[in-house]
Structure 1
Amino acid sequence: MSTKTNLPRIAITMGDPSGVGPEIIAKALQDQEVYHHCEPFVIGDAKRLEQAFAITNSSLTCKVITDVDEASFQYGEIDVMDLNLVSDSLPWGEVSAEAGNAAFHYLEKAIHLANKEEIQGICTAPLNKEALHKAGHMYPGHTEILAELTNTKDFAMMLAAPGLRVIHVTTHVGLIDAIHKITPERQYTVIKLAHETLQKAGISSPRIAVCGINPHAGENGLFGNGEEEEKIVPAVKKAQEEGIDVVGPLPADTLFFRARRGDFDIVVAQYHDQGHGPIKVLGLEAGVNITVGLPTIRTSVDHGTAFDIAGKNIADELSLKEAIRMAIDLAPRL
């Protein structure tokens, strides 16, 4: 039986059980330091995690729970909310409807707990979109499932690496489409999401900087067709009038350097590669994918299911450990 602490309670979903999720969870929770900063538990299949213990030569054991309050959160014995959805013989490294269905329901359970405010964060191991679709769950990925099941309309992708946070106005659309999708309304929404997310994480007045769209942020109309004045400036002014500490549009080619130096707490990027590039150059193992605007913070590894190495004790757990750390950092203060 768990006792009340001031540590955030983090649900770690197993993701696709045919991928590297079970292995990286086993390896990440081998680190006792995790338990010093949060109350972690796994939502998945206990027998699959036990198989991962054997593969990774781990001395950890599972404690099956049916309710969060049954968890002990003790190092060495991983609390597992066992949904018992996959067979013992489920192969590693293969796309299957069985695994895709399980991955969906692990996440669904975590969302249910979040909606009841029983957890402060969700950390997700990777799922496979093809397996998800084979199981009849027709979503592009985690974010869309999370948004629909929490009835969330305003959400955004944040990426984080040591010393740098980036939130995106647009993400997985082509560059020409992204320019069209950037509106003052969306811009303002993302600035507000950045502000509120960091406030909940304990930063009382987050310093926010907004990237321009064109080179040198348009340089007073020299580059582009006035996109900065049309799509960014109104949103920045509105947020400033509400007391939000935000500046921009600023030239992206120097802004990320300034943010990493410590001038800003978060950067608003206008499109996918503008925001992803600076994070990725800091190291793929250090990057964490975060969905903000949900009832609870959600973080994820910045890699896929890696079917080619699943079940072989090769997968690296560093991205998952960073994702857990970021969930802890961004979880509401208790």
Structure 2
Amino acid sequence: MTPGELALASGNYTPVTQFILLGFSKYPDLQELLFGAYLLIYAMTVVGNLGMMALILTDSRLHSPMYFFLSVLSFLDICYSSVVTPKLLVNFLASDKSISFKGCVVQLTFFVVHITAESFLLASMAYDRFMAICRPLHYSSVMTTGTCLQLVAASYALGGVNSALQTGNVFALPFCGPNQVTHYFCDIPPLLHLACADTATARVVLYILSSLVTLVPAAVILTSYSLVLVAIGRMRSAAGREKALSTCASHFLAITIFYGTVVFTYVQPHGFTSDTSDQVVSVFYTIVIPMLNPFIYSLRNKEVKDALQRKLQVDICPC
């Protein structure tokens, strides 16, 4: 039985009005060091992604569907990192590590919206690369501004639907006693562990929905990049192959890290536990990946590096 079920069975319980985010409280001597490290990562996340967005917006040579999607990716990275990290930073230094019940609902809602939207956006980016490399003659007629906006809107819409279902699935359960969340934010598996009811159905719902929003986009991505690799192999131009591989390699690296950590947490059966390994894995997709994405895409992308160089030259010598 979960702690919540035990409290309900004993008859000694009160409705939960707030949760305690235990996070990394097992390491009291490292709180200030962890605060400094995560503050630095968060600052790099915000600056790096805002810089990427500004560069794409101000450089006309980057006004293409691929870079439009990349700017939206940067926006999503800032959003879902900001849902989690500021509260974590406060908890490193504060003795009161509580979050209100409503605050927990809001945090989970916005987190699921943005991380689901990112999952489908990555699939849209893979489809864009497929069209650019495998169907170049049809690319401009298919990947129009309207199509790109529709794909982004669909990503957010699916994020909203998944968030409503996932949040409703969790908070429809009663919480009547234990309120110590063994995590650094209001995530679904540790919250289910505290519920004062049988969570078997809720866990099945979590597994199904998480599978749909990760494995379906992942299947689109793998199919797209498999066809892209075949097309690259048929290219006669060595320069063309190098450019295509460079662009796709950066996409695939970011995708592998993102989906690997998300699947570990939500899709595989042992993802329902809330041990230290789950927290470490969660750090990657909530805090580290949003920081890494702008560096992955800029360091491995010649067009982005050239745009950054042009921007720096203009700023240094505006003559």
With normalisation by structure 2, the TM-score equals 0.29
Larger radius of gyration: 2
Q: Which of the two has greater strand per residue?
A: 1
With normalisation by structure 1, the TM-score equals 0.28
Q: Which of the two has greater helix per residue?
A: 2
